Structure 1
Amino acid sequence: MSTEVEPGQRLNWPLVFTASCGFALYWSSFFTMLMRNSFMDGAIEILWYHLFLRIVFLLGSCIGCLAMAKRADWISSAQGVRFQKAGVCLFSVVAAVGSLAAYSLSATMPLAFDCAAWGLAGVGLSCLLMLWVELLSAFAPAERDAALVLAIGLGAPAYLVMNLLPFPFNIGLLCASPLISLGIFYLLEQDEDVVASAFVPLEDSLQRARWTASYKGIAVAYGIVFGLGIGSTTQIAESDPLYSGIAVVLALGAAAAWFVARFLGERIQKASSFRFLFPVLIIALIPMAFLQGMPSVACNLLLLGCYVFFEAIGINLALVLAKQQRASRIQLVAVSQACIYLGLALGHGVGLAATSTGAMNYSMLSVAALGLVILLALFITFAPLSPLAGHELKNAATLEADVAVTEKDAVGFWRKHCERIAQEAGLSARETEVFLLLAKGRGIEHIQNKLNISSHTVKTHTYNIYRKMGIGSREELLDLVETDVDNGGQS
């Protein structure tokens, strides 16, 4: 979002819109899980049960992100991508089986079953999030940022439709949305305009870019505040106006993120854009401590809009820094998301413990959240806040030079392995040229234009390459190159 579109440069709007629609289905599913009562049994009216299952869902999301951050190298491999896709499918299966079981038995499912289901649902949606984050990183900066914000904005009306539909259509849409999102993801994977970003080993990434402890702590603290506000909506009776209000503030939060990113991009890179939330949070929390009814509901919704703003800016910050520092996108995004999910779970947990025991009511919780916001404001105002640990952010000229040298070394290393594979397979000079482009993820149209040959000739060379290497698909070719690089040429 901070990258201006140069004169004459146009965004590929069909590509942006397609990606936004696919990513929007993730957000609609996530918002539904976060804001709606249990998808397992819509007849449950026990307050603590709803909050408890949300906590389990958020902890599942947190654990999923931490696991992917720790195994970022494997997650980036072909096997890792297949694992993430399986996790997405698992979400739909769990939601469908749990709902059908509860409906057919006309009874509440055992708490252990619901906990397992919601935990797996959290892991599944975190897999879908990371798939889209990795795909969007392959876009040009302006297209990536437009797709990110537009996806959240489109996720709002999709959430509204999902929650206005009667049972079982709402459950059906919830189960189908991640699968449809995965289908759109697959189509974009095959698009010739989408070329995967260079792989960055986790060890190298951690040397270049790691979130500071202060930034991670702030993300958790913000999550606690948002969790207290979002958890409070459980006490509000479900209704069409409530769902409509939620959809509106979700869209407004995304619009605010776009505005800040479009005109104040430099502040995003320094994480100082989060200071914009302080006055809004204070405006929301003060009335919540003293008012009831519709004013309190409006304040809860305002907190939800702040959460969406924080999410959009946070993911954008991670992707921008990953590109600048040539770091692992999965590692940076997964860690920051895990901190937010942990904070949301803690916020829900505090609210659940305080209200169920009678130790505090929602007004007192609002006062506590207000105090936390004031402490955050003081800390960010007077303490230096750098998002990355180990070094200051480099200036643009130094970054450009460093990245150019590093990428040159990485490309040379990769090309050496590809040429060795081609030589061992007995490829001709022209077949080797086609093989190098195929290994980069290029499509037939790109290769024919690059080499000035016909599409028929490209297909013939591709067939010969597959035959000589004993493979049958582009995925097997990429796996072959990836395995050779990982094994240092010993495969």
Structure 2
Amino acid sequence: MSATHRTRAEEPRFADWRLLGLGFWQAWQMVVLCTHKVVAAASPEVPGENPVLILLALMTASYALVVLLSRRFAPFLSRRDSFILAGGLTALGTALIPVSLGLLAGAAALVLFLIGAAAASFGNALLIIMWGELWSALATGRVGRHLYASYTFAFVLFFIAYAMPKAVAIGYATALPVVSAAILAACKSEPRREPSVIPLDTKTVPVGRLLLCVFLISVVWGTSQGMLDPYAGNDGHFMARALLLAGGGIGAITLSMMVSQAPSEAAALYRPVIPAMVIGLILLLLEPMPYPFIGCGLIIMGVYCLDMLMMLVSTDVAFRGRISVAASFGVTILVARTGTLTGTFLADWLPMLPVWSSQMHTDVFLLAVLVLAIIGMLFFTIADVQRLYVTPRSGAADTSLEEKCAAIAAMGKLTNRESEVIVLLARGRSVPYISDELSIAQGTTKHHVSNIYRKLGVADRQGLLDAIEQGGVGKPGWE
């Protein structure tokens, strides 16, 4: 009895709070890009230029640089200096930007701003790629829910900063990436899923089409955010109210995922993206003042769900396809940020055209609605997301479910109790049902489920079902 107790005590368990460390990174993004606490929308110290646009351009270039460096230095999580660079450079840059824009003038201000923005951009890109490396190997069936919880937590951190005086908020924003990097370092002890996994044939993934859709969605996002002035007017709290609505929506989705586990968390993440953005764009055109923040909030909610989807799917594809996370997640987020930069540039450039009018403004939004609708219906559907997790069936189509489970349990070296649990999972039984059936506590059942996912190298129940259907486990992946 005591031996059993020691064995269970020695088994790795997740410290769920550590995975909220990603929220500190996201909160930094929101404070820097969605408020005037760190970066002003326009500044006389950067004549003729938009500091936010410059920062977005440097962020995009930094993702490309990190992807290139990954060919020699990845995985970054294995290098202690990566944590120092990621947190330190982001913090240093965050401190230099407001100094350059608020205390200096002329060429000195511009040079210091570019140095600070470049440092913050590179550190920020490195930090999120490192979080992606961790997320790719997490041994839990709750990855999507952890992502939602992290983003919900980021909204809490954001509104704390929003309520602070500017000087205090700058110090607060400077600390956020340092805390995120420190928590990421603490996550090195979190249990990882085994590298043995049903191999994903990456040739079957329509990479080009999916990346094009991500790019176009991001262009719509950047354009819509850059054209908010007619709606925001003189409302200094417009963006805060929009973010409050977006945070409430993501929080509600987080709560629903906690209550009922979706078979495919990737599908659950993608489901709100297109509808929320389409409805948001339409509301921006139809709603009377002062309510367009509802439309803006829905757009923000949709694009944040897309960000979480990119992290969940691209890191999982990297793990299962045995490729670098930077080559999968890094390229995906680079494409998304390039789209955002393109859309922001268009929003900054189009109003300067001599033919620009309020009607053209409306036409741009209607075109964006059309593009999103076509993408959602034809080119990037829920079925496309599901297809990333479907593996070809093995020849043993007539093998019974119990035999398939027994085969996969043997390959994954599951315990007798885990072998019982996997059969019930394969039959679609819930955690409470399994607990009653086996006369064990729900916490114990969840622990068995997480162990099964870890040993088989799958991310959620849909991946487990695919593994059982395939009837085999692939060779070891990256270590």
For the criterion TM > 0.5, the same-fold answer is yes
Distance 2:378 2:206 in 1: 19
Identity, in percent, stands at 13
In structure 1, the partner of 2:217 is 222
Matched, 1:246 2:247: no
Equivalent residue runs for 1:66-215 within 5 Å = 66-73=64-71, 74-76=73-75, 82-83=81-82, 85-105=84-104, 110-111=109-110, 113-189=112-188, 191=189, 193-195=190-192, 212-215=207-210
Which residue is 2:295 aligned to?
299
Stretches of structure 2 lacking an aligned partner (at least 5 in a row): 1-7, 396-404, 414-477
Does residue 375 (structure 1) correspond to residue 371 (structure 2)? The answer is yes
Task: Give the aligned partner of residue 446 of structure 1.
Answer: none
Aligned in 2, Cα 1:117/1:232: closer, same or farther, shift over 3 Å? farther
What is the alpha-carbon distance in structure 1 between the residues aligned to residue 208 and residue 410 of structure 2?
30
Find the partner of 2:57 among 46, 56, 59. 59
Give CA-to-partner distance per residue, 1:157-215, whole Å, 9 cap, x none.
101111221021000011111011112222222x3x44487599xxx999667662111
Pick closer, same or farther for the CA change 1:80–1:247 going to 2, 3 Å: farther
For 1:283, which of 255, 258, 279 is the aligned residue?
279
Paired residue for 1:312? Answer: 308
- C-alpha distance 299-172 of structure 1, shift in aligned 2 (>3 A): same
| 1:3-29 deviations in Å (ceiling 9; x for gaps) | xxxxx9xx9986111221x21110100
Provide the C-alpha distance between the structure 1 equivalents of 2:269 and 2:19, rounded to a whole number of angstroms: 26
1:481 alignment counterpart:
none
Query: Quick one: structure 1 residues 162 and 32, their matched pair in 2 at CA, closer, same or farther if it must change by over 3 Å?
Result: same
Choose 209-218 or 260-269, whichever is displaced more. Answer: 260-269
Which residue does the alignment assign to 1:17? 17
CA contact (8 A) 2:83 2:181 kept: no
Q: How far is the alpha carbon of 1:124 from its aligned partner?
A: 1.7
**Contact 1:41/1:108 (8 A) holds in 2:** no
Distance verdict in 2 for CA 1:141–1:247, change over 3 Å = same
Deviation at 1:257, TM superposition (A): 6.9
TM-score for the superposition, normalised by structure 1: 0.66
Say if 2:83 and 2:185, in contact at 8 Å, map to a contact too: no
Change (3 A) 1:250 1:292: same
Which residue is equivalent to 2:334? Answer: 338
Could you tell me which amino acid in structure 2 is paired with residue 311 of structure 1? D
Q: CA deviation at 1:383?
A: 4.9
Q: Cα gap change, 1:147/1:244 in structure 2, threshold over 3 Å: closer, same or farther?
A: same
Query: Which sections of structure 1, spanning at least 5 residues, go unmatched?
Result: 1-7, 409-484, 487-491
Q: In 2, distance between residues paired with 1:376 and 1:337?
A: 19
Normalising by structure 2, what TM-score?
Answer: 0.67
Q: 1:65, 1:338 within 8 Å by CA — same for their partners in 2?
A: yes
User: 1:253-292 alignment to 2 at 5 Å?
Assistant: 253=250, 255-256=252-253, 259=256, 265-266=263-264, 268=266, 274=270, 276-291=272-287
Tell me by how many angstroms 1:359 deviates.
4.2
Deviation at 1:49, TM superposition (A): 7.0
Query: Following the alignment from structure 2 to structure 1, what is the Cα–Cα distance between the partners of residues 380 and 40?
Result: 48
Compute the displacement of 1:302 (Å): 1.7
User: Which moved further from structure 2: 379-388 or 296-305?
Assistant: 379-388
Whole-Å Cα distance in 2 between the matches of residues 366 and 274 of structure 1? 27
Cα separation, partners in 2 of 1:239 and 1:79, compared to 1, 3 Å:
same
Equivalences, count:
391
Question: Against the structure 1 CA distance between its residues 186 and 77, is the aligned structure 2 distance closer, same or farther, given a 3 Å change threshold?
Answer: closer
